[in-house]
Amino acid sequence: MKSARHLMRALLLVQLAAVLLIAWGAVARLGMAHWQAVLLGIASVALVRLLINANNFVMAACFAGATPQAYRLGTGARLRLLAEEFAASMLVTSWFAPRASAATRIYPDSRHPPVLLLHGYGCNSGYWVHLTPLLDAARISHATVDLEPVAGDIDGYVPLVERAVRELSAASGVSGNRQVAIVAHSMGGLVARAWMRAHGSGRVARVITLGTPHHGTALARFGLGPNAVQMRRESAWLRALALSEDAATRALITSAYTHHDNIVSPRDSGRLEGARNLEFGGIGHVALGRNRRVLTAVMEELAALAS
């Protein structure tokens, strides 16, 4: 399926069918009241989603390596980590992404470079619903782009990014020495680096990546499509990308990553040599886009670019 929006809507229909089937069985076999049966169906589907989320943490932990002492969590913090990641995943996949479409917001009087937002694997521009209000409050022009097809080649997304950069630059009046900033989640960070490889870094003020598997992730072996293959641990594509970058390009990148990522594993795959690396703990992969500490760090990075 080409569009993440259509894919997630289809998955929602499957989950709705599961709720109705469970409810029907509860009424027919257990004699439950209809409202009780529907609640049972909803709870059952939510429980399956929670177990899938928890299983991601278990799988990631198998390849994660040792967690630094400063980032080790107690039982309560682990439960908060799971709860935040579960809530973030449910909201993105069941509400924001199925309804989202790429959009642009321009502030002609802004002193900041405009910002292009690139989402990660299997998602769309709905991922940025928590960051865009902060950009609006700071009067920072910004645009989102949907990287399609969902299971495409990462280099195949480069023309989409180039077109989006040109359109955002033109709409915001960027000219001369003014540049654009990119904020990217997960695979989006690799897309941004691939775009710089193809088009240079002269138009880049900053690239801020969140939970990007710069050295790949062991869990990519379970993904579908050429992009999942490219994100496998130390893949040939990742090695070639790294070899294409000089110190000046790496210095333009800020890589924020979490020591409790449930998708990127080993977790230090988020550390990029030569870049500015920001470490976090107690945050899951999807929750990076809504966690207050992370969003504050992103806004501070962007504020430093103001002319």
Q: Which CATH number belongs to the domain containing residue 222 in this structure?
A: 3.40.50.1820
Question: What is the rounded distance in angstroms from the CA atom of residue 93 to the CA atom of residue 219?
Answer: 19
> How many domains are there within the chain?
2
What pLDDT is attached to residue 174?
65
Residue 267 one-letter amino acid: R
What pLDDT is attached to residue 65?
83
Q: Are residues 56 and 142 in the same domain?
A: no
Question: What is the rounded distance in angstroms from the CA atom of residue 58 to the CA atom of residue 20?
Answer: 30
Q: Are residues 171 and 216 in the same domain?
A: yes
The answer to whether 170 touches 218, Cβ cutoff 8 Å, is no
Q: Are residues 15 and 150 in the same domain?
A: no
Q: Which of 70, 99, 128 is the last residue of a domain?
A: 99
Q: Are residues 122 and 63 in the same domain?
A: no
Q: Are residues 27 and 73 in the same domain?
A: yes
The answer to whether 19 touches 48, Cβ cutoff 8 Å, is no
Q: Are residues 263 and 299 in the same domain?
A: yes
Q: What does the chain come to in residues? A: 307
Nearest to 212 by CA among 299, 92, 115, 121: 121
Question: Which domain does 77 fall in, by range?
Answer: 4-99
Q: Which of 99, 133, 151 is the last residue of a domain?
A: 99
Q: Which of 99, 123, 144 is the last residue of a domain?
A: 99
Q: Are residues 109 and 247 in the same domain?
A: yes
Q: Are residues 91 and 110 in the same domain?
A: no
Q: Are residues 129 and 91 in the same domain?
A: no
Q: Are residues 279 and 132 in the same domain?
A: yes
Alpha-carbon distances of 293 from 57, 110, 117, 229, 287, rounded to whole Å:
21, 24, 18, 31, 11
The token duo for 132 is: 């865009």
* ω into 266 cis (within 30 of 0): yes
Q: Are residues 246 and 134 in the same domain?
A: yes
Nearest to 165 by CA among 185, 147, 177, 179: 179
Please tell me what DSSP assigns to residue 95.
I
Question: What is the rounded distance in angstroms from the CA atom of residue 193 to the CA atom of residue 144?
Answer: 17
The pTM for the full model equals 0.95
Q: Are residues 153 and 282 in the same domain?
A: yes
Encode the chain (307 residues) as per-residue pLDDT tens digits: 579 999 999 999 999 999 999 999 999 999 999 999 999 999 999 999 999 999 999 999 999 888 999 999 999 999 999 999 999 999 999 999 999 999 999 999 899 999 999 999 999 999 999 999 999 999 999 999 999 999 999 999 999 999 999 999 999 886 545 699 999 999 999 999 999 999 999 999 999 999 999 999 999 999 999 999 999 999 999 999 999 999 999 999 999 999 999 999 998 999 999 999 999 999 999 999 999 999 999 999 999 998 6
What pLDDT is attached to residue 141?
97
What pLDDT is attached to residue 291?
98
What pLDDT is attached to residue 267?
87
